[in-house]
């Protein structure tokens, strides 16, 4: 499956980032900006498993840079089947920037997967992406409700909110629940998937792995139950790796049938 990575890069950190990407075979076409690409640091306590995040503020995107990126996106929308819009937005971009990208993609019959938080997620949902992948805390902020007391999760209330989001035009919703697994709602089916038991090393890239697996499932038109298993396995197997390493498809393919799913 051909992939294209794009976004904003700048300064010495941006050059280092591009050098690191040389090890990967997918296409890259990033817009070089005047600002400096930020560095985010994850400090993992190996005794407790607690992750402390130290995130730099990042660059300010100029108006003309945002316009150039939109032109770059439009170029690739002409040849792609699916777009993933992921992460927080840098300063200078409005909170509805992903929403604008979603509308551009929809106008060209291209499906979108949105992985964001806060107002960026809220505005993005208003543009009706094909799929969203919030974690439970992002889902709570999106809906304005609390579903977990960190001991028990209210699956019925989550299910009700998912149905409400479907009515707004979002076709697929995947909510990750940490060690409680994930909930996938798609094609009138809602599944709760329990994670494969693994020795947790780092959860830093688990959500990103689930998004990548979800995109793969959408492109291949997998049924909901298979999608629930594959996305869950991708998150679990990635959590068993160090740092930001991600599970390989060959490993996911061997393990995803072991994921227990239950229709709710």
Q: How far apart are CA 165 and CA 153, in angstroms?
A: 19
Contact 137, 156 (CB under 8 A): no
Instruction: Give the pLDDT score at 158.
Output: 96
Contact 235, 206 (CB under 8 A): yes
Q: How far apart are CA 102 and CA 129, in angstroms?
A: 6
Q: How far apart are CA 31 and CA 8, in angstroms?
A: 5
Phi–psi pair at 84, nearest 5 degrees: -100, 125
Contact 99, 121 (CB under 8 A): no
Q: Are strands 182-186 and 189-194 parallel, antiparallel or unpaired?
A: antiparallel
Residues 6+ apart with CB under 8 A from 217: 226, 227, 230, 231
Residues 6+ apart with CB under 8 A from 148: 136, 140, 154, 177, 180
Task: Collect the ranges in the chain with pLDDT lower than 50.
Answer: none
Phi–psi pair at 237, nearest 5 degrees: -65, -30
**Rg (the chain; Cα; Å):** 18
Instruction: Give the pLDDT score at 209.
Output: 98
Q: Which residue matches tokens 């439009």?
A: 74
Instruction: Give the pLDDT score at 150.
Output: 56
């Amino acid at each position: 499956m051909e992939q294209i990575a794009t976004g904003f890069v700048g300064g010495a950190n941006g050059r280092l980032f591009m050098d690191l990407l040389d090890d990967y075979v997918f296409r890259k076409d990033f817009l070089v900006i005047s600002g400096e690409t930020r560095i985010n640091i994850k400090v993992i306590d190996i005794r407790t498993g607690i992750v402390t995040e130290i995130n730099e503020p990042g660059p300010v995107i100029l108006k003309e840079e945002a316009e150039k990126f939109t032109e770059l996106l439009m170029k690739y929308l002409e040849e792609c089947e699916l777009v993933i819009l992921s992460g927080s937005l840098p300063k200078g971009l409005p909170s509805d920037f992903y929403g604008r990208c979603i509308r551009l993609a929809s106008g060209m019959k291209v499906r979108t997967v949105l992985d964001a938080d806060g107002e960026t997620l809220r505005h993005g949902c208003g543009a009706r992406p094909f799929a969203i992948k919030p974690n439970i805390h992002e889902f709570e902020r999106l809906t304005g409700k609390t579903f977990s007391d960190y001991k028990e999760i209210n699956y019925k209330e989550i299910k009700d909110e998912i149905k409400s989001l479907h009515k707004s035009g979002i076709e697929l919703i995947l909510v990750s629940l940490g060690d409680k697994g994930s909930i996938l709602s798609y094609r009138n089916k809602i599944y709760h998937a329990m994670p494969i038991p693994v020795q947790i090393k780092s959860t830093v890239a688990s959500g990103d792995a689930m998004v990548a697996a979800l995109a793969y499932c959408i492109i291949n038109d997998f049924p909901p139950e298979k999608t629930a298993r594959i996305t869950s396995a991708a998150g679990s197997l990635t959590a068993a790796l160090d740092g930001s390493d991600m599970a390989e498809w060959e490993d996911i393919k061997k393990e995803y049938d072991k994921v227990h799913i239950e229709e709710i």
